[in-house]
Amino acid sequence: MPVSAEFTIYPFIEGDALPPHVQAGIEAVRALGIDVEIGALSNTVRGEAEDVLRALHAAEGAAVAAGATRIVAIVETVE
Amino acid sequence: MNEDDEFARALADALGSMYRVSLVDADNRVQASHGAVEGDRVTCARIPLPRSASAVLIEFDVGALERAQRTLQLLSDRGDPAGNASPAFPHLDDALGALISLAEADVGHPISAMTRAEKQQVVRFLDERGAFALRKSVESVADLLGVSRFTVYNYLDSSRRS
């Protein structure tokens, strides 16, 4: 089942540069060979539910280890 | 007819005694004066003349300008046959689009060409001007940025806190 997961890692730091706790989350996803779209307010992963949820789990673990205080994720099925 | 005459006189009163233009020398000594200005809120602007030690000093009564503005507003209302209070006021449905155009002009290019930081700046620009009090505005901005409306709400929440 294809899904998309949009997630934002807090604390939110304004600006073009990604702060280390966001960078860590994104690198953890890419390390699984899964692509992440980096947006202005959030990041998005698309794919089969199993892969996307695995990616989110990896992102959350790595981000928290790097100092994230909150992660908000929205997972939706894709028609 | 009487009413019109009173209106005309009110307009003349408001527009009269509003400005005095004087020629002043380098030490601001008045050389010549034209017109008259009255009132207790007189402000002035000094404009140096090119290739001359003289300047013109324009004095005006802020109170009179405000009275004139009110009178002109009355005049424009009278000219509107439908009797709408303020024909120049835009419909609020157009306000979000106008604010987004302003935000794009502020940054210098359209949202589609903006960096991460510039897009964040646009959302704050809109929020500072009350855009998110408008119905459906969060949805519209979320669509424009390609994110869900929850993400916009969360971002607004964190940016208002900091």
Ordered domains of chain A (ranges, CATH): 2-77 (3.30.70.930)
Do B44 and B68 reside in the same domain of the chain?
Answer: yes
Minimum mean pLDDT range among B41-45, B87-91, B130-134: B87-91
Q: Does B83 score more than 70 pLDDT?
A: no
On chain B, the residues whose CB falls within 8 A of the CB of A22 are: none
Full residue range of the structural domain in which residue B99 is found: 92-161
What pLDDT band is residue B162 in, cutting at 50, 70 and 90? confident
Q: In this predicted model, which residue has the larger pLDDT, B59 or B117?
A: B117
Residues B100 and B39 in one domain: no
- Rounded to a whole number of angstroms, the distance from the CA of A15 to the nearest CA of chain B is 4
Which chain B residues contact residue A77 at CB under 8 A? none
Per-state percent for chain B, helix, strand, coil, to nearest 5: 55, 15, 30
Residue B100 lies in a domain: yes
Asked, for residue B25, whether it belongs to a domain, the answer is: yes
With vertex at residue A64, the alpha carbon angle to CA A60 and CA A67, rounded to the nearest 5 degrees, is 145
What is the three-class DSSP state of A5?
strand
Residue B134 and residue B71 in one domain: no
- Residue B1: predicted pLDDT: 39
Of the candidates A39, A40, A72, the beta carbon closest to that of B154 is on A72
Phi, psi of B41 (to 5 degrees): -125, 55
List the alpha helices (DSSP H) in chain A.
20-30, 49-65
**Confidence category of residue A25, pLDDT binned at 50, 70, 90:** very high
Distance, in angstroms, between B152 CA and closest chain A CA?
A: 7
The answer on pLDDT for A73 being more than 60 is yes
Q: Which pair of structure tokens corresponds to residue B77? A: 């209302």
Question: Is B132 within the bounds of a domain?
Answer: yes
Distance CA B97, CA B120 (A): 17
- pLDDT score recorded for residue B154: 93
- The reply to whether B84 falls in a domain is no
pTM of the model: 0.60
Interface confidence (ipTM) of the complex: 0.86
Separation between Cα atoms, residue B23 and residue B25, nearest integer Å: 7
Claim to verify: residue B48 and residue B111 sit in the same structural domain: no
Selecting from B116, B123, B147 the residue whose C-beta is nearest the C-beta of A16 gives B116
Residue B47 has pLDDT above 70, yes or no: yes
- Where does residue B82 rank: exposed (0-12), middle (13-18), buried (19+ CB within 10 A)? exposed
DSSP of A43-64: EEEEEEHHHHHHHHHHHHHHHH
In angstroms, the separation between the Cα of residue A24 and the nearest Cα of chain B is: 18
Q: Do B146 and B104 share a structural domain?
A: yes
